[in-house]
Amino acid sequence: AHLTDEDAAHVARRQRLLGPAYRLFYKTPVEISRAKGVFLYDKHGNEYLDAYNNVVSLGHAHPRVVAAIQKQLEVLCTHTRYMQDPLLDYAETLINTFGGELGRTGCAMFTCTGSEANDLALRIARYHTRRTGVIVTAEAYHGNSGAVAAISPSLGKKSALHPCLRMIAPPDSYRLPLAEIGRRMAEDVARQIADLERHGDGLAAFIADSVFSSDGLYVDPTDVLAPVAEVVRKAGGLFIADEVQSGFGRTGTHLWGHARHKVDPDIVTLGKPMGNGYPVAGLVVRPELVAEFGASMRYFNTFGGNSVAIAAAQAVLDTVLEDNLMDNATRVGGEILDGLRTLQNKYDFIGDVRGAGLYFAVELVKDRDRKVPDMDRALAAVNALRDQRILISATGADAHILKIRPPLVFTSANAARLLEGVDNALRAVQT
Ligand code: PMP
């Protein structure tokens, strides 16, 4: 498919009105007017298979979430400065899903976006430690506010990073010996803490997405973060688990990604799928950390945790658990992973296939021995899938890793269509 004159004029209008910082997916942009379940539809009624959207993890326009939002909006939508039992009930349900210390005594705080949640987590960590140093992985993304953009190296080389930000290599299971990854990562973190103590004011927090999405999706091994947490704690820093990508059942076997690594975070941040499209995000924090913070200053977020946001969040969490969506993610995810591995035998430019639950990476390389990233082929494959009306994207420092992340309600039939599409796309970009 190529851009018609009408498409080009449409894109130019968007560029003029929104400016150049907004990016569009695909060479031929997808225009959508409605969505239901795992499908998006354009104005002509063409159907697109959504294999990318983890915000609507229950599927687009999920009836239970829509009904909860509508009902609550008709009754009351106000903020957290009034007594509202549904807010407390949701906080309780949420906190009870955590293991360890957080599950026993944690406090929940609410924001509108994952960025705000990480921003607040950083404020709490810096207040507690009286230090500013932060350690992240090399291509981490933690959000778009000034403070969290400054700890998000994936935003681009020219984006200003905090002077006390230090980066470590991601747990690249394709290139590093698996048994060594945890030890290497802990050593890297220890080295960066020493550097922060020499040249800065020391470590406030280590923050990571436990599936390392923007680094290229490294879901295994899962013995990586526990040794890191130990080093971080020893230095008096906090361990923040960013669950914006890995949370709410995405990995199938665990509701929370950090639980796969058997770590007990000090703060967990949440977002994206929490409201299935309604903006709601937040964090769960050890009570003594927020006690000192809260004693010194107040926190208020006008829309964060409003009555409608909470109704949406409660409907989402109940649905994930009652409809066994994690089991579905494990089962259908297993089918997709098997299918992608079969394709790896067929196409020698697939270097590696990784996945957990309904989250997959297909790493494209110029040759398997040297493992050189093949960004052009990945881009072509994403667009070839788009031309078959199947939506995915690419990730990693070199954007050479196909990123596939369908809603948790994906069926075996959806999986078969996806795999057939990936096969067609890879055949199309083979030469
Ligand atoms: N953390 C991670 C790991 C993310 O992937 C994102 C969003 N891509 C964010 C934080 C920021 O979330 P939001 O866009 O809701 O601010």
In this predicted model, what pLDDT tens digit does every residue of 212-226 receive, in sequence order? 999 999 999 999 999
Distance from the CA of 141 to the center of ligand 1, in angstroms?
7
The model's pTM is 0.97
Q: The domain 63-322: what is its CATH number?
A: 3.40.640.10
Q: Do domains 31-58+324-428 and 63-322 have the same CATH topology?
A: no
**Percent residues over pLDDT 90 in the chain:** 96
pLDDT tens column, 121-130: 999 999 999 9
153 close to 169: Cβ distance less than 8 angstroms: no
ipTM, two decimals: 0.99
SS3 182: helix
- Distance separating the N- and C-terminal Cα atoms of the chain: 18
Please work out whether the CB of residue 114 comes within 6 Å of at least one atom of ligand 1: yes
- Provide the pLDDT confidence category of residue 1 given band limits of 50, 70 and 90: low
Distances (CA, A) of 191 to 75, 197, 202, 264, 327: 54, 10, 12, 22, 40
Any residues with CB less than 8 A from the CB of 42 and at least 6 apart, and which? 30, 31, 32, 33, 48
What average pLDDT does range 262-291 have in this prediction?
Answer: 97
Evaluate: CB of 57 within 6 angstroms of ligand 1.
no
pLDDT tens per residue across span 218-257: 999 999 999 999 999 999 999 999 999 999 999 999 999 9
Q: State mean pLDDT over 363-378.
A: 97
Domain boundaries, the chain: 31-58+324-428, 63-322
Q: Is the Cβ atom of 145 under 6 angstroms away from ligand 1?
A: no
The pLDDT, as a whole number, for residue 52 is: 98
Alpha-carbon torsion 12, 13, 14, 19, what sign? positive
Ligand 1 pocket residue status of 132, Cβ below 6 Å:
no
pLDDT interval class at 207 (50, 70, 90): very high
Kindly state if the Cβ of 115 falls inside 6 Å of ligand 1. yes
- Strand (E) or helix (H) holding 120: helix 114-129
| Residue ranges with strand state E in 84-157 | 107-111, 133-137
- Cβ-Cβ contacts under 8 Å for 321 (sequence gap 6 or more): none
Task: Please work out whether the CB of residue 279 comes within 6 Å of at least one atom of ligand 1.
Answer: no
Class (C level, CATH) for 31-58+324-428:
alpha beta
Q: What is residue 386's predicted lDDT score, i.e. its pLDDT?
A: 97
Q: Report CA-CA distances (Å) from 87 to 80, 386, 402.
A: 8, 40, 38
Q: Which atom of ligand 1 is nearest to the CA of 140?
A: 3
Residue 276 buriedness (CB in 10 A; 0-12 / 13-18 / 19+): buried
Report the C-alpha gap between 85 and 106 in whole angstroms: 18
pLDDT band for 424, please (50, 70, 90 cuts). very high
Calculate the CA 102 to chain-centre distance: 21
Is the per-residue pLDDT at 3 higher than 90?
no
Confidence band of 157 (pLDDT split at 50, 70, 90): confident
Looking at residue 156, its pLDDT comes to 87
Residue type at position 351: G
Which of 54, 142, 274 should be mutated for ligand 1, with most atoms under 8 A from CB? 142
Question: Is the distance from the beta carbon of residue 246 to the nearest atom of ligand 1 less than 6 Å?
Answer: no
Which pLDDT band holds residue 328 (cuts at 50, 70, 90)? very high
Q: How far is the CA of 271 from the centre of ligand 1 (A)?
A: 7
Residue nearest to atom 13 of ligand 1 (CA): 114
Encode pLDDT of 302-327 as tens digits: 999 999 999 999 999 999 999 999 99
- The residue whose CB lies within 8 Å of the most ligand 1 atoms, and thus the one to mutate among 272, 274, 278, 393, is 272
Please determine, for residue 2, whether its predicted confidence score (pLDDT) is greater than 80. Answer: no
